[in-house]
Amino acid sequence: MTRLSPGAVIGILGGGQLGRMLAGAASQLGFDVHVFCPEAGSPAARVAMKHWQADYGDDEALTAFAEACDVITLEFENIPVSAVEAIAATGIPLHPGAKSLAISQDRADEKAFLRGIGIATADYREINAEADIGPALAALGGKGVLKTRRDGYDGKGQAWLNGPADIAAGWDSVGQAPSVLEAAIAFDCEISVIVARSSTGETASWAPPRNIHKDGILARSTVPSGVGQAVEAEARRQAVALVDALGHVGVLALEFFVMADGRLIANEFAPRVHNSGHWTPEACQTGQFEQHIRSIAGWKLGDTHRLFDAEMTNLIGEAGLIDPAMLAPNETLTLYGKREARPGRKMGHVTTRLGPRKD
Ligand code: ATP
Ligand code: MG
């Protein structure tokens, strides 16, 4: 593809905080940003030059939006296939493309794809009816996590099953939707690799953070991860193999469980910038948002070298009502501009530079 010049228009599907931070990076590099999302006053739309407010099923609006842009990207992966097709019909490039989206939208396809390219995942069974769950649970050692194949995020659409007695309630709590049952992984810790692949095929990854989740939502990401160089190098190798296999263009995040012996088990991937990469702008030469824009614009990728040890803490719900005067000098605040601090809602994050990189 051709290299976009500053002044070109980048279109973002989705109006959340990831879109807002992508828009910030795009404007820093001299691009204009249009945002397409159904909600009024969303975090990304409020910083964009133009907001196209319509439903993802509105092909006419999507076509008009695409024709106003030079490249389209997205900040959430659950856009309908019909929207991808409507954009493809205009000939305006969409990055990431249909393959990354289709596979990441379905947990069963995602696991099969990862395994197919030699990346280990939790053992799992496809669940299409309540009657499938009992035998699957027994086969997976009596304990597991039931996850809807589609539309899960922040731990939503998931139910832990600790034995046959949990099956009926678990099946109801995932809405009796087609699901996967995953074996429970007794991991030592969780890490993720943020990786970028440009439209020219160049790749670059960041050192993986260690991630702590609370109630199924990311609470904190820390670098260095403490898992050691060999494990980090292997995780980064696998993430690069994944973006190459997908022909992915843009940033992608691959989440891993790390076992006590250093073995890696991939959990899932997101074909976009990721919450566990929010520390990269403050701690590295190039951050994930800038890198994503470079990737989709056909620019040379920036250096991902990490300069600082750092920790990123999510501000969830009421924690988002933080008083900026309380911040320490080594803390950087990012707020998403959400009007209402509902429980479980990601309102912003704080990145703390813990000092110059020591490892
Ligand atoms: P997010 O959007 O935050 O990534 P999600 O809804 O896509 O979340 P997952 O990443 O599948 O959900 O799971 C969220 C968290 O639940 C994981 O990071 C991990 O802490 C825990 N978890 C998920 N699957 C398993 C498993 N098979 N064994 C043990 N823990 C698990
Ligand atoms: Mg996850």
Does residue 212 sit in helix, strand or coil?
strand
Quick check: 270 and 207 in contact, CB under 8 A?
Answer: no
Hey, what are 102's tokens?
Answer: 């289709």
Q: Averaged over 175-185, what is the pLDDT?
A: 97
Q: Averaged over 327-335, what is the pLDDT?
A: 97
**Residue range 204-247, pLDDT digits in tens:** 999 999 999 998 899 999 999 999 999 999 999 999 999 999 99
Residue 330 CA, ligand 2 centroid: distance in Å: 28
In this structure, the residues whose C-beta lies within 6 A of any atom of ligand 1 are 122, 145, 147, 152-156, 182, 184-185, 190, 213, 216-218, 255, 267-268
Q: Averaged over 288-293, what is the pLDDT?
A: 98
Q: What is the pLDDT of residue 319?
A: 94
Instruction: Using the atom order of ligand 1, give the atom closest to the CA of residue 183.
Output: 27
- The pTM assigned to this predicted structure is 0.96
Where are the domains positioned within the chain? Answer: 9-94, 123-183, 189-356
Instruction: Inform me whether the pLDDT recorded for 64 exceeds 90.
Output: yes
Give CATH for domain 123-183: 3.30.1490.20
Residue 103 CA, ligand 2 centroid: distance in Å: 15
The CATH classification of domain 189-356, taken from the options 3.40.50.2300, 3.40.50.720, 3.40.640.10, 3.30.470.20: 3.30.470.20
Q: Note the ligand closest to the C-alpha atom of 217.
A: 1
Q: Ligand 1 pocket test: which of 158, 187, 345 has the largest number of ligand atoms within 8 Å of its C-beta?
A: 158
Nearest to 253 by CA among 233, 231, 275: 275
CB neighbourhood size of 164 (10 A)? 12
**Residue range 273-288, pLDDT digits in tens:** 999 999 999 999 999 9
Does residue 36 sit in helix, strand or coil?
strand
Q: Averaged over 78-86, what is the pLDDT?
A: 90
Instruction: Using the atom order of ligand 1, give the atom closest to the CA of residue 107.
Output: 11
The architecture in CATH of the region 9-94 reads 3-Layer(aba) Sandwich (3.40)
d(CA 256, CA 358): 24
